[in-house]
Amino acid sequence: MAAILRFFVTYAPMIYVLLAVGLMLAVRQLILAQREAHNSIYGLERELSRRHMSRAISGLVLIALVGFAELVLSVFLVPGLPAQDVLATPTTDLLQSPVATLPPELLATLQALTPVASATVAATGCVPGQIDITSPKPGDQLSGQVTLMGSADVPNLDFYYYEFALRGTENWSTIQAARTTIQDGKLGTWDTSALATGDYLLRLVVVNNQTNVLPACVVPVRVLAPGG
């Protein structure tokens, strides 16, 4: 279902073009059917023209319904869904399952021995005042509930979401999404209490109302498990 929703949102402009072409063809067929009915003399001709007119009207109704459904889906329904149901991110949920096949205790021990210096890499892709995470900062050590500060303020903003992944993987897990423009304020919160100690990437992604996904702001951080 999520893939179907993503398809209709991503290809909305193409769908509207196809609907417009279908609308013109249906209107043309209706006009021809009306002319045919006006010029028909015999009963069989009238019956055939009525069938053509009925088919044209049915096509117009169908196109109108599809267009309305696409509008509701793209503008109202999809942006209101949780971001993980809308965007093509892996289904792995780091909040619910271990990242690796090692036992959680051993994984936490190995990650705790990893040099912290690897988490001092600078943020990438951030645009101050537009798509930016100002807190936490690159290399910060986090635990428990973390407040995310920054900006999600671009022209024609539709919605933004933020997510995380273990460093070195592409298993992004969406944390939260919102549709409010934020300028140097609170983007949301991140509960890290269920995560193992290790280096993570936190990224902010903004989508405009043309369904264009803008370059993400990525901040490397280190999560400390409770008691770690």
| pLDDT bucket at 40, cuts 50 / 70 / 90 | confident
**Per-residue confidence (pLDDT) for residue 118, from 0 to 100:** 39
**Per-residue confidence (pLDDT) for residue 140, from 0 to 100:** 94
pTM of the model: 0.48
Rounded Cα–Cα distance for residues 136 and 148 (Å):
6
pLDDT of 56-109, one tens digit each? Answer: 898 888 888 888 877 777 666 656 555 444 444 444 443 444 444 556 665 555
Backbone angles phi, psi at 119, to 5 degrees: -95, 10
pLDDT of 176-206, one tens digit each? Answer: 999 999 999 999 999 999 999 999 999 999 9
Residue 3 CB coordination number (10 Å): 7
Strand order across the beta sheet in which 145-152 lies: 131-135, 145-152, 182-191
pLDDT of 115-171, one tens digit each? Answer: 443 334 688 999 999 999 999 999 999 999 999 999 999 999 999 999 999 999 999
- Closest by CA position to 198, among listed 112, 100, 96, 95: 112
Integer CA distances (angstroms), 97 to 6, 12, 77, 91, 225, in order = 25, 35, 29, 11, 15
